[in-house]
Amino acid sequence: MAQKIAILSVYDKTGLLDLAKGLVKQNVRLLASGGTAKLIREAGFPVDSSRFFYKSPRLAALLSKWFPGLTQYTNRDVSAITKAPEMLAGRVKTLHPAVHAGILARDLASDEKDLAEQNINKVDYVICNLYPFKDTVAKVNVTIPEAVEEIDIGGVTLIRAAAKNHTRVTILSDPEDYHDFLTELEKGEVPEKSRQQYALKAFTHTADYDAAISDFFRKKYAGDGVQQLSLRYGANPHQKPAAAYTTDCNLPFKVLSGSPGYINLLDALNAWPLVKELSEALNYPAAASFKHVSPAGAAIGVPLSDVEKKVYMVEDIEGLETSGLAQAYARARGADRMSSFGDVIALSHEVDLPTAKIISKEVSDGVVAPGYQPEALELLRKKKGGKYLVLQMDKTFNPPATETRTVYGVNLTQHRNDAQISPASTFNSIIVPKESAPLPEPALRDLTVATIALKFTQSNSVCYALNGQVIGLGAGQQSRIHCTRLAGDKADNWWMRFHPRATSLAWKKGSKRADKSNAIDLLCSGIVPASGSEREAWAANFEEGKAPEPFTAQERHDWLAKMDQVAVSSDAFFPFTDNVFRVARSGVKYIAAPTGSQNDQACFGVAEELGITYVEQHVRLFHH
């Protein structure tokens, strides 16, 4: 049986001598290169001074002392089989057919013939790890030439070749594996399962190495904003540095104004697909107001009534009647003005001047859209002293099917949520009433708005919709009923804002939009302080002596009873009937939710009892 051969070429020499000792014990012929060979010689493995190979007359005596019965051992440099010296300051050592044919040869007659004709022996074990590129580029002010010197060529090729042929060759790229490898070798042979695991680790090693190199050169050469974009900071100011980048294409957006932060982009890149899908599903312009990676509001451009214009504070916007996009954003922002404060806006169509005028009046951090009319862009660029974030999205961009994220050092991957939500195909499975007619168009529209909004809302989530817009959304709650209550309370607050008392407030001259929103929220939520400085501060928003009377419990009950035809969607099943009872109190007549709860039948029964149409939505829509 031919003597086994191992090639050793390592930067990290941890455990190298113990490994060499173990290989020698198993009568494995060692071929080493560069500093690896040097370390072995200096440790008592003398090497002949010949350019092409070295032998150790003293080694036999040393090894026979260590391993009785071992009479002869030859330790040679890689150049002994390449018949070429290391050159170019060591940059070329192992790149040679004599090395790689020996590694890549399979147990095939044709391969055996080729090897015999070229007098090349098979290589059985490759021990190799790479230059510390990551450590080098982590240094302050590292130069490109310094980084380039740490780009391993021969080592990567050795590892990749051995890992490719792992059905026959064992590749060790991690010194932590030396002990187990030698234990297996002592038992006779390295098992197939181990060779597979070593190969996986080797491929991961080279992939991580290449990723570090591409990351370094992307930062140097790609140009900020092309494939890589430096961010102000991460989720918090102390989390620096931060960046956004792509690996297989250019960034799908351009920064036209301002400087994005990490959370800005999380909001923008969740909000954009929401409005894109919503617009495509319903054939209307769509808008979303995003905060902390969930929509505060989302809507399509259904025409606004005069009272809606007043409630949403857009009655003075010139050109509003002719801009579906402006009407969509007025609805999205107006759904929950408190949550929308400081939002990131997503718009499905080119931004026109009426839409920009609304944005210019609101406290907002940024906007993403596929384009901007020149006068609209000029207006937006003036916002926040020129620091307002304006992103232009490539509307033709389609993200890869696979998503990957890293959490606490662990990579998680999944197929992107590409579930299609449409009024024509998603809401056809009516459970109760059993003899129900097909859903009316407004119900289909509003269920579509609510369900697509949930697809991009942090779970658990429940969404109420009416008139083509979100009117209440509960996001990120651990309990489904708390989602339902939170969203329902927001829907109630939204409806109370249409009460004549709330639409005829006598504001003090100079009152700011944010102060008005806060004052209305206290009034419509039923939490106006009874007395004290907080009550005085609230009353100070209005003309002297004209602060409105808080709503009584009966007044709230009577007005909320008028809310009707509301649609609600849930990102997963309703586990208990309390959810159905709660939505009914906010005028809900249509529910869409996945099924699968043990209490499904009870929920269906309560819905039928309360006059609610319950539709099975077949796709769970968790989003994290």
Which pLDDT value is given to residue 71? Answer: 33
Q: Which of 25-29, 253-257, 500-504, 551-555 has the lowest mean pLDDT?
A: 25-29
Average pLDDT over residues 515-519: 96
Q: Give percent of the chain above pLDDT 70.
A: 92
Candidates 292, 361, 395, 482; catalytic one: 292
Average pLDDT over residues 359-379: 98
Which pLDDT value is given to residue 53? Answer: 29
Sign for the pseudo-dihedral over CA of 255, 258, 261, 267: negative
Which pLDDT value is given to residue 150? Answer: 84
Q: What is the pLDDT of residues 35-66, one digit of tens each?
A: 888 887 777 643 222 222 223 334 334 334 43
Average pLDDT over residues 559-572: 98
Residues 6 or more apart in contact with residue 240 via CB below 8 angstroms: 233, 234
- Cis omega (within 30 of 0) for bond into 241: yes
Q: Is the model's pLDDT at 143 over the cut of 70?
A: yes
Residues 6 or more apart in contact with residue 128 via CB below 8 angstroms: 7, 8, 9, 10, 155, 158, 159, 162, 171, 172, 173
With cut-offs at 50, 70 and 90, classify the pLDDT of residue 138.
confident
Which pLDDT value is given to residue 58? Answer: 40
Nearest 5 degrees, angle CA 460-CA 461-CA 463? 170
Q: What is the pLDDT of residues 226-251, one digit of tens each?
A: 888 999 999 999 999 899 998 878 89
The full length of the chain comes to: 624
Known active-site residue 292? yes
Which pLDDT value is given to residue 618? Answer: 95
Sign for the pseudo-dihedral over CA of 317, 322, 325, 331: positive
With cut-offs at 50, 70 and 90, classify the pLDDT of residue 171.
very high
Candidates 13, 21, 25, 164; catalytic one: 164
Known active-site residue 310? no
Q: What is the pLDDT of residues 471-494, one digit of tens each?
A: 999 999 999 999 999 999 999 999
Tell me how many helices (H) and strands (E) the chain has.
Answer: 25, 21
Q: Which of 12-26, 80-94, 496-510, 608-622 has the lowest mean pLDDT?
A: 80-94
Q: Which of 16-20, 58-62, 358-362 has the lowest mean pLDDT?
A: 58-62
Chain Cα centroid distance, residue 519: 37
The pTM score is: 0.85
73 vs 594, higher pLDDT: 594
Q: What is the mean pLDDT of the chain?
A: 90
Q: What is the pLDDT of residues 305-349, one digit of tens each?
A: 999 999 999 999 999 999 999 999 999 999 999 999 999 999 999
With cut-offs at 50, 70 and 90, classify the pLDDT of residue 83.
low
Q: Which of 130, 154, 140 is nearest to 213 (CA)?
A: 130
Which pLDDT value is given to residue 73? Answer: 38
